[in-house]
Amino acid sequence: MIDKSTVKLLSALSLTMFRKNFFGIYHGAISAKVDHTSFIINTADAIFDEMSENSFCTLNMNKQDYRWKIASIEAHIHSTIYNNIHEAKYIAFGVPIYTTAYTFEHNEIILNDFFGKTTFGKVPIYDPGDFNTWYDRNALEITKYLKESESHSMVIKGIGTYVYDRDINNLVKRVAILENSCRLLSIKSSFK
């Protein structure tokens, strides 16, 4: 049984993050840790602006059953993060347009606006290397990076952004600040 209050929270945040272009119609993942062995994550066919109880499934981190087949393709990564980063209570993965576009021409994001500079300062851009082998390596590489990072976020060149936090409001705040800051950098470059 899926906790209805968690579903309501994740559904509302999914709609907000969809409207802000963090999630695409079928692209992205959001999850919440339920206890030390399970978490709730969106299904592979979830539509982020129309989330309901059927858009989520509960997965056991220690035992893969039939529900793993309907879960988001990102479920294995979320599970690995929850198993290795104990302060992670919520995780989101998305492809924010301005942040992801910025990764194509840069190796780091140097944020100039007040909120970006005070929240992140500089954000390294992780190069995933060979895209053909990325899904074989990503769970370990993402978890290792996040464990060593103080920002609770990871921007991956040409792929998207992973964010985790203990507090859902801080997670959403990080996503919003990073994307808005990258949008400002994009607009700034048009004035040159």
pLDDT tops 80 at residue 132: yes
Domain count of the fold of the chain = 1
Residue 47's pLDDT is: 85
> By residue range, what is the domain housing residue 89?
4-189
pLDDT of residue 1: 64
Residues 126 and 156 sit within 8 Å (Cβ to Cβ): yes
Give the chain's mean pLDDT.
93
Average of per-residue pLDDT across 4-21: 86
CATH number of residue 81's parent domain: 3.40.225.10
Q: Which of 1-5, 39-43, 44-48, 183-187 has the lowest mean pLDDT?
A: 1-5
Task: Please tell me the predicted confidence (pLDDT) of residue 60.
Answer: 96
Residue 26 scores a pLDDT above 80? no
Q: Which of 47-51, 149-153, 157-161 has the lowest mean pLDDT?
A: 47-51
At 24 the pLDDT is 75
Closest CA to 98 of 16, 163, 185: 185
Nearest to 143 by CA among 77, 91, 53: 77
User: Is the Cβ–Cβ distance between 186 and 110 less than 8 Å?
Assistant: no
Q: Which two tokens stand for residue 70?
A: 């309907």
Q: How far is residue 30's CA from residue 14's CA, in Å, rounded to a whole number?
A: 8
